[in-house]
């Protein structure tokens, strides 16, 4: 793909309030495009791009591997420019190197928890499962390993949910430490498109993922953006109904997300004309990230 394929950049809207082409995009196509830039195989080892490894206070303190590349284009996304210019950011790491870096952060911070975050961790399934193999092998060092996802890859690749169950099982007797946090971005097609920059028909994919994770006995919960600037009470209710159709316990345990106006989120929101959130004037923190934005 050409390096300037606009499907990989952030979504923008014209004066008519509609997405400018090529948006909305297919998350399945974005998966394929992004994989070419962030997943690599060398001599049978599956590498993935990351930008950093650090400790952070969420989940009671957790070591975090910041991966590169996502297959949604959420307009409120807080991830840095590595999401939109994956070809420019990050370095390739083997599963062993990722595991080692996470363990170093855990030791330095006194944590027993780790996660892969920053973008869409499931984009390179073989790499992810190799990291999870290492975690599972030394699971006595962990009390939790979080696998964050928007569910697109799980919905597309048969058997992936079953693979995850080996590392993140609802059956406590299996002794796994993994847990999946599945983000569901929309419950009404138009609203889903507005939020994710992705085609309305792809709204179903995270629900398919929820069904597969449930059927495969994976330990998971769903996170929903309930911020009324993005999700109406009607839409929120629809999401809960859809989840309850799978199992009431999934709907009952939803993590309710309220969004913070991080600088990259403000730039992306301004690009889709959400001045109701950004305000009319470009803030200093937006200016700072705009200065670092690669050329289109």
Residues contributing to the site for ligand SF4 (CB under 6 A) = 70, 72-74, 77, 79, 83, 119-120, 150, 183
150/155 with CB nearer ligand SF4? 150
Query: Which of 73, 103 has the CB closer to ligand SF4?
Result: 73
Token code pair at residue 135: 């975690």
Q: Using the minimum distance from each CB to ligand SF4, give the nearer residue, 119 or 205.
A: 119
Whole-angstrom distance, CA of residue 64 vs CA of residue 90: 15
The angle that helices 95-109 and 125-137 make with each other, rounded to 10 degrees, is 50
Residue closer to ligand SF4 by CB (options 74, 114) is 74
CB of 160 to ligand SF4, least distance (A): 17
Q: How far is the CB of 3 from ligand SF4 (least distance, A)?
A: 20
58 contact partners, CB below 8 Å, separation of at least 6: none
Residue 58 CB, nearest approach to ligand SF4 (Å): 15
CB of 140 to ligand SF4, least distance (A): 31
Residue closer to ligand SF4 (CB basis): 244 or 258: 258
CB of 205: closest distance to ligand SF4 in angstroms?
12
Residue 70 in contact with residue 224, Cβ under 8 Å?
no
Cβ contact 234:263 at 8 Å: no
Strands, E assignment, the chain = 39-42, 45-56, 62-67, 91-93, 113-117, 144-149, 178-184, 220-225, 255-257
């Amino acid at each position: 793909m050409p390096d300037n394929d606009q499907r990989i950049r952030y979504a923008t809207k014209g004066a008519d309030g509609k997405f400018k082409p090529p948006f909305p995009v297919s998350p399945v196509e974005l998966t394929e495009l992004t994989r070419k830039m962030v997943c690599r195989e060398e001599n049978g080892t599956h590498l993935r791009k990351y930008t950093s490894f650090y400790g952070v206070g969420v989940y009671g303190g957790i070591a975090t591997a910041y991966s590169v590349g996502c297959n949604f284009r959420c307009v409120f996304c807080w991830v840095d420019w590595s999401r939109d210019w994956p070809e420019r950011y990050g370095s390739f790491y083997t599963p062993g190197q990722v595991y080692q870096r996470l363990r170093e952060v855990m030791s330095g911070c006194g944590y027993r928890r780790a996660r892969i975050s920053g973008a869409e961790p499931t984009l390179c399934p073989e790499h992810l499962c190799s990291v999870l193999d290492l975690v599972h092998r030394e699971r006595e060092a962990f009390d939790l390993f979080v696998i964050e996802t928007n569910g697109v890859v799980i919905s597309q690749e048969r058997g992936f949910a079953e693979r995850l169950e080996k590392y993140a099982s609802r059956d406590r007797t299996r002794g796994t430490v993994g847990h999946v946090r599945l983000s569901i971005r929309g419950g009404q097609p138009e609203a889903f498109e507005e939020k994710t920059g992705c085609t309305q028909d792809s709204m179903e994919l995270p629900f398919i993922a929820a069904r597969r994770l449930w059927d495969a006995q994976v330990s998971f919960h769903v996170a929903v953006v309930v911020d009324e600037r993005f999700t109406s009470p009607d839409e929120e209710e629809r999401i809960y109904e859809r989840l309850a159709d799978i199992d009431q316990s999934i709907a009952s345990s939803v993590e309710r997300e309220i969004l913070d106006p991080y600088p990259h989120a403000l730039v992306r929101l301004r690009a889709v004309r959400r001045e109701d959130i950004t305000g009319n004037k470009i803030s200093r923190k937006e200016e700072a990230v705009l200065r670092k934005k690669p050329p289109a």
